[in-house]
Amino acid sequence: MHDEAQLNTIALGCGLALGELIQDESEKKLVLLVRDNPSASQRTCVAKWARRNGLKAVFVSINFPQEPAT
């Protein structure tokens, strides 16, 4: 298991925001990228890091609702 600080360091190095890279204790072999429309280079960066660390990268795309126009 990687702690939050380690994952945040990797996230920032891959051009992501803090908290967008997570690892759940129930599925220790997975690292999850949770971001709306990550770029190909961000996905590649996370996948390469995960592979080097014996993990499987999972990409979760979340479409956040837009704020209503006022």
pLDDT averaged over every residue in the chain: 91
pLDDT single digits (tens) 29-61: 999 999 888 999 999 999 999 999 999 999 987
User: What percentage of the chain has pLDDT greater than the value 70?
Assistant: 96
Q: Which residues contact 35 (CB under 8 A, 6 or more apart)?
A: 16, 17, 20, 42, 60, 61, 62
pLDDT exceeds cutoff 80 at 69: no
Which alpha helices (H) appear in the chain, and where do they start and end? 4-13, 40-52
Between residues 8 and 69, the one the model is more confident about:
8
Any domain includes 46: yes
56-60 and 30-34: which strand pairing? parallel
65 lies in some domain: no
For range 19-24, the mean pLDDT: 93
| Structural domain for 33, as ranges | 4-60
Domain contains 66: no
Q: Is 17 contained in some domain?
A: yes
Counted domains in the chain: 1
